[in-house]
């Protein structure tokens, strides 16, 4: 059965251990950054940053609140990015794990922007050095030999979990029921359509626009293909009984 991440954002402290572990395992270089007014560092995903903990400070009835969001590829159950592939083998959808893996053949794709345009979450990035389109690959090399993804292995709070899909779905529902006692607006995001399920304590759009895969707001005029795919990915709120 395919694998799934379950990430409980109510337990995330933004230690960024997952972000660092990803770079270490993938042997990715550090990204040169500068102060841009946020504790988040770097500012965005890139060819050398495949996982990024995003910071958002929001105002609530109880005062200011930090929201943390470790962003990565969602490994969609039905990956729309497959439609962007023109060279066979550029993308491999591994049936054993469910991982969506971009290969070295992406470097030869004529329209690399098509990958990010096809992704409702705007995840794929082009590595300027190799010319490849890159993103999280679920640490498939580790998973295939029975190890946890590097980001999950390093998480100190239990926010990140990984395992068989049915087990992770059950765990997500348990955490949702517990979180709802403290956070009435808690919900699971895209639980039926992705293999990276987030538990949020408030509106997903409060964390980051791509968390809910619908950042377009009120649309005027025809929907683009990306907007259409994003609309299909809207989260279904699962209320705890």
Using omega within 30 degrees of 0 as the cis cutoff, is the peptide bond preceding 42 cis?
yes
Alpha-carbon torsion (103, 121, 142, 94), positive or negative: negative
Residue 227: pLDDT over 50: no
What is the distance between the alpha carbons of residues 230 and 228, in angstroms, rounded to a whole number? 5
Neighbouring CB atoms inside 10 A of 166's CB total 11
What is the distance between the alpha carbons of residues 191 and 177, in angstroms, rounded to a whole number? 15
Label residue 36 by pLDDT band (50, 70, 90).
confident
Closest residue by Cα to residue 174 from 157, 161, 155, 156: 161
What is the distance between the alpha carbons of residues 210 and 221, in angstroms, rounded to a whole number? 21
Render pLDDT for 102-129 as a digit per residue (tens, 0 to 9). 999 999 999 999 999 999 999 999 999 9
Q: Which pLDDT does position 223 carry in this prediction?
A: 37
The Cα-based distances of 45 to 28, 50, 124 in angstroms read 12, 6, 9
CA 182 distance to own-chain centroid: 24
């Amino acid at each position: 059965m395919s694998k799934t991440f379950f990430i409980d954002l109510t337990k995330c402290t933004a230690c960024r251990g997952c972000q660092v572990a990803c770079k270490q395992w993938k042997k990715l270089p550090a990204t040169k950054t500068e102060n841009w007014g946020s504790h988040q560092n770097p500012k965005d995903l890139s060819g050398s940053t495949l996982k990024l903990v995003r910071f958002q400070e929001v105002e609530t009835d109880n005062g200011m609140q930090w929201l943390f969001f470790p962003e990565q590829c969602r490994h969609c159950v039905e990956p729309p990015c497959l439609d962007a592939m023109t060279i066979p083998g550029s993308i491999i959808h591994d049936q054993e794990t469910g991982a969506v893996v971009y290969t070295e053949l992406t470097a030869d794709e004529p329209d690399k922007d098509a990958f990010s345009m096809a992704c409702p979450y705007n995840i794929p990035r082009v590595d300027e050095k190799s010319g490849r389109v890159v993103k999280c690959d679920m640490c498939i090399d580790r998973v295939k030999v029975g190890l946890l993804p590097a980001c999950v292995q390093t998480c100190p709070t239990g926010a990140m979990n990984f395992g068989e899909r049915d087990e992770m779905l059950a765990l997500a529902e348990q955490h949702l029921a517990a979180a709802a006692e403290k956070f009435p607006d808690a919900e699971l995001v895209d639980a039926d359509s992705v293999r990276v399920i987030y538990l949020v304590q408030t509106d997903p759009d409060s964390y980051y626009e791509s968390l809910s895969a619908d950042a377009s707001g009120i649309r005027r005029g025809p929907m683009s293909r990306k907007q259409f795919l994003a609309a299909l990915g809207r989260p279904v709120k699962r209320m705890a009984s």
